[in-house]
Amino acid sequence: MSKQSSYKLLGVQVDALSIPELNGLIAASIQQHQKWIIANHNLHSLYLFHNDPKMRDFYAKAEYTHIDSMPIVFIGKLLGYPIKREQRVTYADWVWPLMAEATIQSWRIFYLGSKPGVVERGASILRQQFPGLQIACKHGYFNMNPDSPENQATIEAINAYKPHILMVGMGMPRQEHWIAKNLESINTNAILTSGACIDYVAGAIPTPPRWMGRMGLEWLYRLFSEPKRLWRRYLLEPWFLGILFLREILILPSQSK
């Protein structure tokens, strides 16, 4: 797929991709026997990118980085980019058409992440909803040191299953750090950073109403649902990103001269 829909904003590169286009990228990685990281950016990851060298290293390894934040879509529009609402893709929306396509195409999925019991419940729900879906899973609570026996066993379990898609849902930046450290050892095609995807499926975390996502208000629902964990992310980090946006606005006129 061409990079015509790739834009740079707030110091990062993003790809404006819809759900069908993302499913097409997964199909391409499998057909071409490629190993591609398909990452995503939201406001939290933008903050981490600018403050964590390991996150910058991770995104440098990603073939594509889709948009998982309506504020990023709004910022892109303000900067003059033709980014559409349907090019904001969050796993709460994507997981269902992704599993449907995986069932049709007989793609094997390995989901790594979430708490013990929760990930198994989520995978069971997906199997019930999509008969024939091939999905294996393992919880994300293990010693992530690359040389630890637990980490080695995790890699062995993934490679033994030979998944077409590896979904890593351990939250930012833990999931990105783990992928970057273990990328060479993993045998798969598409690698997706899926955050709390399986937690939503399992009902461990309440899914925000989809109208709030379309309006860019999903963060507010999450803040009220988990205030102790998320207050810093939603109330402090945006100030840093606001400074980045102002800098970009000031730079644009000078670039057009």
Contact predicate 159/187, CB 8 Å: yes
Summarize pLDDT for 16-55 with one digit per residue, the tens. Answer: 999 999 999 999 999 999 999 999 999 899 999 999 999 9
What pLDDT does residue 205 have? 82
**CA 20 to CA 39: how far, in whole Å?**
16
Contacts 24+ apart (CB under 8 A), 55-60: 55/172, 55/173, 55/176, 55/177, 57/180, 58/173, 58/176, 58/177, 58/179, 58/180, 59/12, 59/13, 59/176
Distance between CA 179 and CA 192 in Å, rounded?
10
Across 172-190, average pLDDT? 98
Q: What is the DSSP letter of 137?
A: E
Average confidence (pLDDT) over 70-79: 89
Residue 136 pLDDT class (50, 70, 90 cuts): very high
255 token code pair: 């670039």
Contact 23, 97 (CB under 8 A): yes
Each residue's pLDDT tens digit, 206-217 = 777 766 666 666
Q: Enter the pTM of the model.
A: 0.87
